[in-house]
Amino acid sequence: MGRGEVPGSENGLATEQGLTAEQGGRSLSARESEIMSLIADGHTNGEIASSLFLAEKTVKNHVRSIYSKLGVRSRPAAITHWLGSHATSHPATHAT
């Protein structure tokens, strides 16, 4: 996977410009989407930094940008927004 690409789009890749706008026409970059997905999975900033080979300060900067773009002020609010906006693209499977 190349720089600026994320798994899960129509062709398996999405560019930074191709991501869905979250609020007010501002879309998350590919890296911000990747970080938000890890946040929603319950990872800490330190864990995210280690797994993405980033400084924790860099992750904090991304998180601040994500909050701004999503129009939220906290991690739980960001997760709620993220999961709500991605529920249709990642439907839960139910055993019958």
Instruction: Give the percent of the chain with pLDDT over 90.
Output: 59
Coil vs helix vs strand at 47:
helix
CA distance 28 to 14: 12
- Out of 6-10, 19-23, 60-64, pick the least confident: 6-10
How much is the pLDDT for 2? 47
Quickly tell me which residue has 């601040």 as its tokens: 64
Cβ neighbours of residue 59 under 8 Å, at least 6 residues apart? 35, 45, 48, 49, 52
How much is the pLDDT for 19? 44
Chain centroid offset of residue 59 CA? 12
How much is the pLDDT for 26? 77
pLDDT at 23 over 60: no
Q: How much is the pTM?
A: 0.67
